Chain A
Amino acid sequence: MQKTPNDTQPIIEARGVTKTFDGIEAVSGLNLTVPPGICFGLLGPNGAGKTTTLRMLYGVSEPSQGQIKIFGMDVGRNTRAVRARLGVTLQDNVMMENMSSRDNLFIHGRHHLIGEALLAQRVAELLEFLEIGADADKKVLKLSGGFKRRLSIAMSLINAPELLILDEPTTGLDPAVRHALWSKIRGLKGDGKTILLTTHYMDEAERLCDQVMIINGGKAIRQGAPRQLIEDELYPNALEFDCSSEEEQRLLEGASELVKLRTGTRLMVFAKDTEQILTRLQKLDGGNRRAAIQRPANLEDVFLAVTGTHLEDG
C-alpha cells in the first residue's frame, strides 16, 4: 500500500473485468482508468451493466475475471482499506426512515469508526453543505425525494472520501433539485475529489463529466471527453424535424458530409452547416410550415447513435 499520494497513479484501474451471472455476461472485458481529480461518467441504457460495474469497484461483487485496483490496491484483498477512502451513493435512498437526518449521518459515520468528536463536526459540516440543516431533526420519512437524495449523498461523504461513487444521482428529481445537486457535485470536484457517476441522462453527463464511457450490453463502446465524442461521431450542428422516408430522400438527395439518425417519424440530420438543409425543407414545404429545430449536436445524439438507433452515413 502506498502511503504518499502519487499524482500519476490512477484512482481506479480496472483491467479486463468480466462479470457472469448464471452464464450470462453482465459486464464483459471492461477496461477503465480514472485519474485523480476528474469526474468520470459511466453512461448506458438501463441494464447496460453500470450498477454491476460499480458494485465490483467497491468490492461488493467479485469479478468473474479481471483485476480491479482502487488507490493502487487490489479491491478484493484490501476491501476495508479501500472502502475507508471511498463513498458510495446507491441508486435507491437507503436510510433509516424512522430516524432523523442527523441520526442517519451519525450511524453511517460509526460504520467508518469515526471518533465521536470528529463525527459531530463532519455531521454539522455536511448538514450545512447540503443545506439540510433546517430539517436535520425531522424523521426522514417526512422529507421530500430531493431532500432524501441530498441526505444519501451526505451519508456517502461522511468519511471525507477521496473517491465518490454516485449511482444515478439525480434520477427522478425535479429540474430545480437536479441543478442544485449538479452544483454540489461540481463543488466536490473543485475540492479535489475524484467522482465516478453513472447516469442515463446525457445532459447530466455533458454538464458534469470530464470523461465518459458509454457502455451497452456490458461492453464499453465509446470513451472520451463529451465534446470530443460529439466531434468524432457527429457533426457540430443538428436539424431535427418530422418527415417521411420519401421526403427524406428528396431532401437529402446529393447532399454529402452529413449523418442522419431516425427514430420513428423524427429525423435528425447532423452537418457542419444545417442552414442549407433547412432552406431545402422550406422549399419543399413551400414556406416555413414545418416545425424544425436547429441546435448544436449533444451527447444524447452520440448516445442514440452508438447504442442502437439506426445510424447511416449520408
Chain B
Amino acid sequence: MKKSLRISHHPLLGEMDKKVISFTYNGEKLQGLEGEPIAVALLASHIRVLRRHEESGSARGLYCGIGHCMECRVQVQGKGQVRACLTPLQEGMEIQEGSRLPNAITGRVDS
C-alpha cells in the first residue's frame, strides 16, 4: 500500500482542519476530507484517472484545477456530470469515472 500523498504537517501552512468522511469511487470505498474537491480526495489516495475519453478511451485527469479545461468530468450519483476539481466532497458520495461511450453514428461499439 502506497503512503498517502497528504502533507500531514506543512512547515508554513500547518495542519488541515477538516472532518474525515467516506465515499466511493467506481464502487471502491475510500476516505477523504469533507468539503475538499473530489479530485483532491482521489489524488490523496493516488487516484489520478478521472475519466476515459468518450471517443478514444484514453485516460484523463485533473489539468487546470480551476474549472476551465473540463478534463476532470466525473459522474456523481444524483448530480450527474460534475467537474472533480470544483465539486466539494460530501459524506457517502458515489462517484464514477467518466467513461468511454460507443459512437452510434460512426458505428464504433467498444466502450
Task: Indicate whether A and B interact.
Answer: no
- The interface of chain A, by Cβ under 8 A from chain B, is none
- The interface of chain B, by Cβ under 8 A from chain A, is none
